[in-house]
Amino acid sequence: MEFDGVTSRRPLGVAVVGFGWMGRVHTQAYARVLHHFPQLPVRPEPVVVADEVPGRAEGAATQYGFATATRDWRAVAADTRVQAVSIAAPNFLHREIGVVMAEAGKHIWIEKPVGLTAADAAAVADAVAKAGVQGTVGFNYRNAPAVDCARAMIEAGEIGAVTHARIRLFSDYAAHPEGALTWRYERERGGSGVLGDLASHGVDLAMYLLGDIASLTADTAVFVPERARPAGATAGHIRAEGGELGPVENEDYVSCLLRFASGARGVLEACRVSVGEQNNYGFEIHGTKGALFWDFRRMGELGVSRGTSYQDQPVSTVYVGPGHGEYAAFQPGAANAMGYDDLKVIEAYHFLRSVAEQRPYGATPADAVRSAAVLDAMIRSARTGTWTNPA
């Protein structure tokens, strides 16, 4: 469905549930999406923002122009003005909110990991399919044009058959011992800790680039066993010096050996308490004729080794540009930098295009189910010390 530049865009009432940092990112992506993708035949209009923290929704409505603010997310499901909903609430609410919104006939753009378990993700995916609505999931790193470039090169056989890969996601957001004991560190509300928070992205990247994971073995650890309870509502990764200490119930670290269905091998490692590491996310993929290297912190660059030398074969830097993924929607020439928020604008485009054309684009709830099944297998493997097959 193409917008011909003459036909009026139809308005699409959108709501945002959960207005922490990610809810704000979604809202800003809606505000920018038509600047970058004017071909969209729908126009997102901010109708409702919901957040249970007193004053937060009202502040968002004032700043971003939502018509209505509420502390009750269920009011969004009942609101006939809303056709599409961004779900940026904490992980433990993903399943309930996602299912209720889909059953109410709302299209959903939901943040990963879509619940706490594969069963949660599957419940949301099933509700989306049964209701006949569209669903997009926040696996934003796959939207980087360099990742699209790497995928195309792998599919074209430019590095030969993939032999092995290493995927890393290291961050220091939880490294400070005074970091507050928020929902992220509780098993019941935050699930599997760094697995759901960071490793879920790594699993999605691994499968997006290299295909299904056949089996794995994993090890996990908690390195900061206690944290102080916050005195009030939290947003982001705040400190809580002097508060009552409570136990960290879920994982700070995971390392995992992977066997892909293709026969390739892989290593995935993620940590949220890596001192000295700020968003050190990326991959190294080796094949029989070459290799690819990507670092999120240099998002527009892809290290490429290819040819017939094999030994002592050099690595060159490809600066992605128009023709790679959705880069042309943002910059006119290679090596002009893109940023994190741009990846969420691409995600908003995929979501709104899915709604307009009634067919999925980008990461879907089915991708979330596949990722969650691998995360569940990591948990089982870490407990048993054995190789495990994703369910």
Query: Are the beta carbons of 328 and 342 closer than 8 angstroms?
Result: no
Task: Please tell me the predicted confidence (pLDDT) of residue 243.
Answer: 72
pLDDT confidence tier of residue 192, bands split at 50, 70 and 90 = very high
pLDDT of 242 over the 70 cut:
no
pLDDT of 222 over the 50 cut:
yes
pLDDT (tens digit per residue) in 121-150: 999 999 999 999 999 999 999 999 999 999
pLDDT confidence tier of residue 230, bands split at 50, 70 and 90 = confident
pLDDT of 7 over the 60 cut:
no
Domain boundaries, the chain: 10-140, 143-336+363-384
The structure tokens 């066997």 sit at 259
pLDDT of 234 over the 70 cut:
no
- Tokens representing 158 are 């430019």
pLDDT of 3 over the 50 cut:
no
Same fold for the pair 10-140 and 143-336+363-384: no
H or E, element range at 92: none
Look at residue 51 and give its three-state secondary structure: coil
Task: Please tell me the predicted confidence (pLDDT) of residue 233.
Answer: 55
Query: Are the beta carbons of 77 and 47 closer than 8 angstroms?
Result: no
In Å, how far are 82, 144, 147, 343 from 141, measured between CA atoms?
Answer: 28, 6, 8, 7
pLDDT of 374 over the 90 cut:
yes
Question: CA-CA distance, 53 to 63, in Å (whole number)?
Answer: 16
Task: Please tell me the predicted confidence (pLDDT) of residue 244.
Answer: 83
pLDDT (tens digit per residue) in 24-82: 999 999 999 999 999 999 999 999 999 999 999 999 999 999 999 999 999 999 999 99
Question: CA-CA distance, 387 to 370, in Å (whole number)?
Answer: 18
Task: Please tell me the predicted confidence (pLDDT) of residue 276.
Answer: 97
pTM as predicted = 0.94
Query: Are the beta carbons of 320 and 334 closer than 8 angstroms?
Result: yes
Question: CA-CA distance, 8 to 11, in Å (whole number)?
Answer: 9
Residue 69 CB-half CA count within 13 A:
17
Domain 10-140: assigned CATH number: 3.40.50.720
Omega cis (within 30) before 390: no
Mean pLDDT of 304-317: 95
∠244-250-251 over CA atoms, to 5°? 120
pLDDT of 237 over the 90 cut:
no
pLDDT (tens digit per residue) in 250-271: 999 999 999 999 999 999 999 9
pLDDT confidence tier of residue 235, bands split at 50, 70 and 90 = low
Domain 143-336+363-384 in CATH 3.40.50.300: no
In the chain, DSSP finds a helix count (H) and a strand count (E) of 11, 16
Residue 189 CB-half CA count within 13 A:
9
Task: Please tell me the predicted confidence (pLDDT) of residue 239.
Answer: 67
In b/e form, how buried is each residue of 157-172, taking b as 16+ CB within 10 angstroms?
Answer: ebbeebbbbbbbbbbb
pLDDT of 231 over the 80 cut:
no
